Amino acid sequence: MNLTARLAEEAVTHFGEHLTGAPQLTHDALVLELDSGVTLQARFASAAEYSIHWRLDAAELRIDTAPLHSGLASFPNHLHAADGSIQADPLTRPGQDPWENLQAVLRAILKDPRLDRSA
């Protein structure tokens, strides 16, 4: 089973009650529609190279590992926040099993899709 299919299976097993339909598998991504209105798209090239993008209404957020923001404590991974800022990634760790990273994001966005830590 390829990684994307394994992630889809894990998502159904652990978060199925929050999915509005079956996970969608594209050639390089997993797409999940959540009952909160969030659409999540996850791409994992490896355990250390990934992008997890989610959208709720006009808010779009993304965690990725493109090594562009060396000043952040979480370098190379970082969060593109809903306000457009680039922040340290509070949820994932490169090299960790992709399912561990994906489920950390799913848990967090089920609580607060915008990751508004001031709320």
Mean of pLDDT over the chain: 95
The predicted model scores a pTM of 0.94
For residue 94, the Cα-to-chain-centroid distance in whole angstroms is 13
CA neighbor of 24 nearest in space, from 44, 38, 4 = 4
Asked if residue 119 has pLDDT above 50, the reply is: no
CA dist 85 and 80 (Å) reads: 6
Beta-strand pair 39-44/78-80: unpaired
Condensed to tens digits (0 to 9), the pLDDT of residues 64-107 reads 999 999 999 999 999 999 999 999 999 999 999 999 999 999 99
CA 44 – CA 30 distance, rounded (Å): 9
Tens-place pLDDT, residues 7-51: 999 999 999 999 999 999 998 999 999 999 999 999 999 999 999
